[in-house]
Amino acid sequence: MSLEEFYRHFRWWMDPDDGRALRRFNAIVSFFEGRDVEASRVLDLCAGTGIAGVAAAKALSAPELTLVEARAEDMKKAWKWLEIAGISPKLRLVAGDVLDLPSLVGEHDLALLWGHTMPHFDPFEAVRLFSGVASVLSDDGAFFIEETDRIKRFLYGSAYKDFLVERRTQDYTLVSLHEGYDVRRGVERRGYYRLPGFEKVAGMKLRLWDLASQLALGRIFFREAELVTPSEHGLSEVSEVLLFRGPKKGIARGVYSEFQNSL
């Protein structure tokens, strides 16, 4: 039961043939057009189909774009996004784990982690992720994360459920069940099942991150940290965005090396 199988059933809005994804793409373009950032080399992490990376490359007129994604098949759709965007940067597709980033890519000016991806990383992996990103950015580079505050939503908003309907389609319903908690890694174990038939699609380990923890973590590896809320950027198709500037590369490289063999 792989990550690929999970995302085959749980499709986020990133397919270029989906009208909702096209609206999201245009919103991401608008977001980056409104930022004070310059980048010739854009790096899209956990890129999926490349929707965010292509949008940023279009907005910033970046001549180079690199996508890093464990699911190689999804990345092939980046060519369609480039066609929709009407741009032709030098595109590099890297099938790999973003936790191994310094061994996968060279220096970039802008890194993105778009689409609420942080739950896939436990606290130890998050340190490795942030330090790895800071290690491969240029001295004035920036790191953008689109996220939401899950502590606020699940704990204070009472949205957490042991049994949850995740996705309904004409052919099946995807549900998830709480199946335990790993106190050493700080992650919930959750099982995903397809109905009818109650076929297990995947077992996931998820971290319910809040935004403040990510801001504090990022501030260790970057000189500046900022939160841009939907009320500030004004785009309904974009969530909260964490922005980090000025990587502390010496600190990042040392910590990344130390966390190669974390708990």
What pTM was estimated for this model as a whole?
A: 0.88
Which tokens go with 182? 């790993």
pLDDT at 169: 86
Q: What average pLDDT does this structure show over 138-163?
A: 84
Q: Where are the domains of the chain?
A: 3-149+209-261, 152-206
Q: What average pLDDT does this structure show over 13-22?
A: 88
- Whether 81 and 25 have beta carbons less than 8 Å apart is answered as yes
As its CATH architecture, domain 3-149+209-261 has 3-Layer(aba) Sandwich (3.40)
Residue for token pair 């930022």: 35
- What are the tens digits of pLDDT across the range 185-235? 999 999 999 999 899 988 989 998 999 999 999 999 999 999 999 999 999
pLDDT at 158: 65
- Position 8 pLDDT exceeds 80: no
Distance separating the N- and C-terminal Cα atoms of the chain: 24
Residue for token pair 């923890």: 213
- Rounded distance between C-alpha atoms, residue 23 and residue 99, angstroms: 30
Q: What average pLDDT does this structure show over 145-173?
A: 82
* Backbone dihedral angles phi then psi of residue 15, each to the nearest 5 degrees: -80, 125
